[in-house]
Amino acid sequence: MGNIESLAYFIPELILTATVLAVLFADVLGGEREGFDPPANFAFVGCVAAFLAHFTLYSLPSTPLFNGILIHDPFGAFFKGFFIFCTGVTTAMVIVSREVARFKKGEFCVIILCVCIGMCLVAASRDLLMIYLSLELMSLGSYVMAGFSRKIGPSEEASLKFVLYGGVSTGIMLFGISLLYGLTGGTSFEAVRSALAGAGSGIEPIAFLALLMVLVGVGYKVAMVPFHFWAPDVYEGAPTAVTAFLSVASKGTGFALLIRFFFSVFMQPAEGGWATLAPLHFDWGLTIAVLSAITMTVGNIGAYPQTNLKRLLAYSGVAHAGYLLMGVSLMTSTGVEAVIFYLVMYLFTNMTAFFVILVVSESLGTERIAGFRGLWRGAPVAAFMMTLALFSLVGLPPTAGFVGKLYLFYAVLQQKLYWLAVIGVLNSVLSLYYYARIIKAMYLETSSETEPAVHSSPLAGLILIVMAAPVLYFGVFWNPLVEYARYCAHLMQ
Amino acid sequence: MHLLEILSWLILALPLAAFAVQMAVGARLPRYGDFISIGAISLSLVFCLLVFFRVIVLEYSPDYVFAVSYPWFSGGSIEFRWGFYIDNVTAFMLVVVGVVSTLVHIYSVGYMHGEENYHRFFAYLGLFSFSMFLLVLCDNLFTLYIAWELVGVSSYLLIGFYYTKHSAANACIKAFLTTRVGDVFMFLGILLLVLYTGQLAYHDVFNAVAHGEISGTVLTIAIVCLFGGAVGKSAQFPLHVWLPDAMEGPTPVSALIHAATMVAAGVYMVGRMFPMFSQSAEAMLVIAYIGLITAFFAATIAITQNDIKRVLAYSTISQLGYMVTALGVGAYTAGLYHLMTHAFFKALLFLCSGSVIHAAHTQDMREMGGLRKKMPITFATMLIGTLAIAGVPFFSGFGSKDAIMAGALAFGSEHGAHMTIFIGLFVAAGMTAFYMFRLIFMTFYGESRNQHSYDHAHESPASMTVPLLILAVLSIAGGFGLYGGLWFNHLVVPPALQEAAHAAAEHGGEHGGAHGEAWIHYGAMGLSIFVAALGIFLSWVVYGVKWISAEKTAAAIRPIYQLSFNKYYVDEFYQKIVIAFVLWIRKVLAAFDRIVIDGIVNLTAPLMRGGATFSGGFDHYVVDGVLNLGALIVQAAGSVSVMLQNGVIQSYILKAAIAAAVILVVHQYIQFWL
């Protein structure tokens, strides 16, 4: 499809771009005057508009866009909505919090919107060059965002570690991409795939090396063990809103990339899912499965000794990356559906948890578990929401987390990977302990100091309710979401 | 490889190499390496002349085209190529750029002698020449845009060469930003074209236009946007404000960039895209009127300025206006012809003014006077340049300007309402003659008004006067074969869209010039001779024999004089408008914040209260029993993972690399076993 016609499929991104300009403009004009904060509000309004606009995408047919450099399909449309939603929530968090200095909010919003555009492009790319460019667009912004906190020291350290680790990983990934290009001489997924399919089995070792190198880049994005080391340090140091964004949207990008790239380049459609391309014999699904088992175990065990909540949730995020990888490793459409469902669940759950941490830590000045002691007396709403989120993270009914895990394990069992299912279930049980520790602190322990008093604005409460409600709702009425996930699992090759 | 291809590469490579060498080691070379730059540009000039010889003389044909392209990059199903496109226009532009560039290089040896960062000056000149050659040679819009910006950058560097001087530093920023405004439009125009046609190369775009892939309003918008780039670069109204300030740069720079080459780039671009531009009558009209406004108002400003370089700057703006008008009314050949003649005589005038400034140590014409006897060569050559620009017969400017007037007259006789264009140009031509001779009289005639500087004045060294003489010869010779540009007419034929060649020919690509009716041609010629004579005579009356006092006249028409002297307050207008606009936007934004956002926030308060009451009843003891499950065992395992997480980023990266290698090895073994 040509450039002009493609624009109809590009409306959310266009709205985001326009919002970037509007925010930039408002920021320049707004200056540093106190009590004058339209940039962030503009950004939020822009996200809402873009999110609403993304619903128009579902009615459009799947087709390559912009002369084949991007693609439109339900899978891409889902991720666009996902990223825009995350961005909107994060912007709202920034608006209600004081983490980002007031006069820097406009700047922050410009960056996060650009990151969001990058993410949307990642989900829709079907060209090696485009994938890399859009990944860099989101990564570079993320690095800056991680350093946006008022707490100069830790935030800067987080940002620097993020840059270094990210730079190395994407560098390795780029090397992998260049290997693929060298092997096939094409940059579009189609060209690469047909060249790989046409090649003899002699290219297998190099092809796998390329795959592994790209996997390093993806693994870093989703915080897969052993490429997760950056996550705890960065999550702890970055502003809470950014941590929430990274833990959900950045992870989502990783999965969008993993599925889009690997399934389009190294796989071909088969009965009920995908199979490795004919001349390549390697079963990389197994590799992913093993890595997913390692990832969830390391994540859950690493979370145990943590006393800082953000750090704890970082390890929990690693563990969840493991669960999600399980779904990818199956290479079935049921697996992809489960991943999509799980991501939606994870979005609401994790955002709720981080939002509570944000509100509480701003009032109490601490992110430690000990600071949450007796929270239910001072802030019953916050404590309840946090509990709900934690239940969902564990996977207890009647929360969305339970349904998400249910579908994941169902998909795994369908492929008869019993060992993986067992490890997954054991891990869920393991995770109960450290999540429950927080709940215990909130309800059963009492603060040694005075009663914790949490002050939050009505707006913050509203956002919290909007975020937490679906956790409960989808835990009870999950069918619409399952249908949606089934629709969105359609990948155009 | 074709000879022209090799020559093109060489023409580009030599100045670029000179730039690189000068930047790297220029400071340590004997004579600061000026001979390298001059050698490189001279060789480039030789190659330019070879191209010219080959294209114009040996293989001449009215629509000669040599094109070669190389793959550049691809995205999706579009492949981008870049390459060289050489036709008659390219060949003559190469010679213009090469000649002026080389002469300015040589002139700078004398003018910049002993300046700090002498080598860097030559480096920048090299960069500029490279960019300009690229701009002329390239075959597609994207490369054109890159060259366009490179030219802008080197212009920025050269204007700000005396970067410690506050005014120069300001001027270079102003020039860069103002032209950027135009460039943004140009980029939009290019994007529009690419969006609709998917093509970048001139020819493919023309073909697409011929096929109607882009037409109507969109085409007009695209053309006007593209023209926006020319408005910036060629200092057309309303973006002309940067050019007079750019005179802060060293005088050779003014001659090279702000008279002969860079400012002509806009005109060249319009000429290059002419087949497409001529498809939209509305856009052409916009172009014609922008050119007219520029030509007219710049001329009125030039009359009252006292700084010798500023007079020339406004005169340049005015002459560029002429070229743009010519293209706008369809007098393609005349516009490009004037571009060439103007390049020579304006470069000459600037270099002469440099020579004068060099001698008198001031740029204020009121401090000069009587320099004729001290600087005979400068005087003679400057007089030649002035006669040329004033449009006196047998000098180059006459032929080209006359052709433009004829074009405008033909256009006016065809569309009666647009006779304004001709009348405006006609009056401006009179003013041109007037202010140029005002410059001559004030500088070279009469008594010296500053005895001290007069005593120290002397003729410039040969490195400066020789380029003057060469340019003076060109300023006369450029006019040979004149009267509508007989030879030039054959050299540069108005191009038409390839596929629509017949249609375009019927429409008559050229309205005026040689194809016009005889009365138009001779009428325009007679009128322009008359008006030039009138301008010169008035100037002589006022500034030569001083029958009429300039001061009294100025006092008599004081409001108008002030308006002109203050350049119609355009700069002040920009400052006022921008600030008022910014303040207004701020108010709007603040109102949005107060009304919309605060309204939403206030609405949420009641909602919140309901939520709080609801959650109070949660039974928190439920979780109690679950908590102590298997806690200690796993806690121990956790500390192992924490040991790996030691906070040192180097070790993280190392671990990740090792892990990746392990995965690779293990995977290969597993595959082996399976």
Between B362 and A483, the more confident residue is: A483
Instruction: Say which amino acid occupies B42.
Output: S
Residues B663, A165: C-beta atoms closer than 8 Å: no
Q: How far is the alpha carbon of B201 from chain A, nearest alpha carbon, in Å?
A: 17
Query: What is the predicted pLDDT for the residue at B621?
Result: 40
Per-residue model confidence as pLDDT tens digits over B61-90: 777 888 888 887 766 666 778 889 888 888
A 10 A CB-CB count for B451 gives 9
CA–CA separation, B389 vs B396, rounded Å?
Answer: 8
Residues A67, B652: C-beta atoms closer than 8 Å: no
Per-residue model confidence as pLDDT tens digits over B379-433: 889 889 898 888 888 788 888 888 888 888 888 888 777 888 888 888 888 888 8
Classify residue B547 as left (phi > 0), alpha (psi -120 to 50) or beta.
Answer: alpha
CA–CA separation, B451 vs B550, rounded Å?
Answer: 22
Residue A316 clears pLDDT 90, i.e. is over it: yes
Is the CB of residue A12 less than 8 Å from the CB of residue A53? Answer: yes
Between B516 and B24, the more confident residue is: B24
Residues B656, A286: C-beta atoms closer than 8 Å: no
Q: Which residue of B has its CA nearest to A70?
A: B76
Is the CB of residue A310 less than 8 Å from the CB of residue A240? Answer: yes
Does A358 reside within a domain?
Answer: yes
All residues of chain A having their beta carbon less than 8 Å from the beta carbon of residue B634 are 301, 304, 430, 433
Q: Which residue of A has its CA nearest to B628?
A: A433
Task: List the alpha helices (DSSP H) in A185-274.
Answer: 189-198, 204-222, 230-237, 240-245, 251-257, 263-265
Is the CB of residue B132 less than 8 Å from the CB of residue B213? Answer: no
Residue B46 clears pLDDT 60, i.e. is over it: yes
CA–CA separation, A9 vs A243, rounded Å?
Answer: 30
CA–CA separation, A160 vs B31, rounded Å?
Answer: 47
Does A458 reside within a domain?
Answer: yes
Q: Which residue of B has its CA nearest to A438?
A: B627
Query: What is the predicted pLDDT for the residue at B624?
Result: 40
Between B603 and B31, the more confident residue is: B31
Q: Which of B202-211, B351-360, B493-502 has the lowest mean pLDDT?
A: B493-502
Q: How far is the alpha carbon of B624 from chain A, nearest alpha carbon, in Å?
A: 7
Query: What is the predicted pLDDT for the residue at B544?
Result: 74
Per-residue model confidence as pLDDT tens digits over B609-631: 655 554 444 434 434 433 444 45
What lies within 8 Å, CB to CB, of B65 at 6+ separation is B85, B86, B87
Q: Which residue of B has its CA nearest to A208?
A: B664
Residues A384, B589: C-beta atoms closer than 8 Å: no
Does A99 reside within a domain?
Answer: no
* Among A109, A83, A85, residue whose Cα is nearest residue A27: A109
Residue B516 clears pLDDT 60, i.e. is over it: no
Query: What is the predicted pLDDT for the residue at A16?
Result: 95
Instruction: Give the HSE-up count for residue B48: Cα atoms under 13 Å, Cβ half-sphere.
Output: 32
Does A426 reside within a domain?
Answer: yes
Residues B601, A36: C-beta atoms closer than 8 Å: no
Q: Which of B608, B641, B652 sits opposite A458 (nearest CB)?
A: B608
Does A479 reside within a domain?
Answer: yes
Tokens for B495? 């191009």
Tell whether omega for the bond before B606 is within 30 degrees of 0, i.e. cis: no
Query: What is the predicted pLDDT for the residue at B446?
Result: 75
Query: What is the predicted pLDDT for the residue at B402?
Result: 82
Q: Which of B586, B593, B621 sits opposite A41 (nearest CB)?
A: B593
Domain that holds residue A350: 290-493
All residues of chain B having their beta carbon less than 8 Å from the beta carbon of residue A302 are 638, 641-642, 645
Task: List the alpha helices (DSSP H) in A258-283.
Answer: 263-265
Question: What's the ipTM?
Answer: 0.72
Does A104 reside within a domain?
Answer: no
Does A294 reside within a domain?
Answer: yes
Q: Which of A127, A164, A306 sits opposite B75 (nearest CB)?
A: A127
Average pLDDT over residues A94-120: 88
Query: What is the predicted pLDDT for the residue at B620?
Result: 41
- Tell me the DSSP string of B521-574: HHHHHHHHHHHHHHHHHHHIIIIIS-SS-HHHHHHHTHHHHHHHHTGGGHHHHH
Does A448 reside within a domain?
Answer: yes
Residue A359 clears pLDDT 60, i.e. is over it: yes
Best residue in A224, A229, A435 for a mutation probing chain B (most B CBs within 10 Å): A229
Q: How confident is the model at residue B652 (pLDDT cuts 50, 70, 90)?
A: confident
Residue B78: what are its φ and ψ, rounded to 5°? -95, 130
Residues B645, A229: C-beta atoms closer than 8 Å: yes
The vertex-B417 CA angle with B413 and B422, nearest 5°, equals 60
- Tell me the DSSP string of A412-466: HHHTT-HHHHHHHHHHHHHHHHHHHHHHHHHHT---SSSPP-----HHHHHHHHH
Q: Which of A344-348, B209-213, B459-463, B640-644 has the lowest mean pLDDT?
A: B640-644
Residues A168, B653: C-beta atoms closer than 8 Å: yes
User: How far apart, in Å, do the first and last CA atoms of chain B sit?
Assistant: 56
Is the CB of residue A115 less than 8 Å from the CB of residue A141? Answer: yes
Average pLDDT over residues A276-297: 86
Residues A381, B612: C-beta atoms closer than 8 Å: yes
Residue B223 clears pLDDT 50, i.e. is over it: yes
Q: Which of A29, A208, A227 sits opposite B582 (nearest CB)?
A: A29
Residues 632-651 (B) with a CB less than 8 A from some CB of A: 634-635, 637-642, 644-645, 647, 649
Query: What is the predicted pLDDT for the residue at B517?
Result: 59
Residues B615, A381: C-beta atoms closer than 8 Å: yes
Query: What is the predicted pLDDT for the residue at B215?
Result: 79
Buried b (16+ CB within 10 A) or exposed e, B48-65: bbbbbebbbeeeeeeebe
Average pLDDT, chain B: 79
Query: What is the predicted pLDDT for the residue at B623?
Result: 40
Per-residue model confidence as pLDDT tens digits over B265-300: 888 898 888 888 888 888 888 899 999 999 998 888
Query: What is the predicted pLDDT for the residue at B135?
Result: 92
Residues A283, B671: C-beta atoms closer than 8 Å: yes
Residues 430-489 (B) with a CB less than 8 A from some CB of A: none
* Among B392, B386, B327, B396, residue whose Cα is nearest residue B353: B386
Return the sign of the alpha-carbon dihedral for residues A467, A469, A475, A477. Answer: negative
Residue B114 clears pLDDT 90, i.e. is over it: no
Per-residue model confidence as pLDDT tens digits over A382-427: 888 999 999 999 988 889 999 999 999 999 998 888 999 999 999 9
Structural domain tally of chain A? Answer: 1
Average pLDDT, chain A: 88
The vertex-A261 CA angle with A260 and A265, nearest 5°, equals 115
Residues A302, B642: C-beta atoms closer than 8 Å: yes
* Among B277, B390, B267, residue whose Cα is nearest residue B323: B267
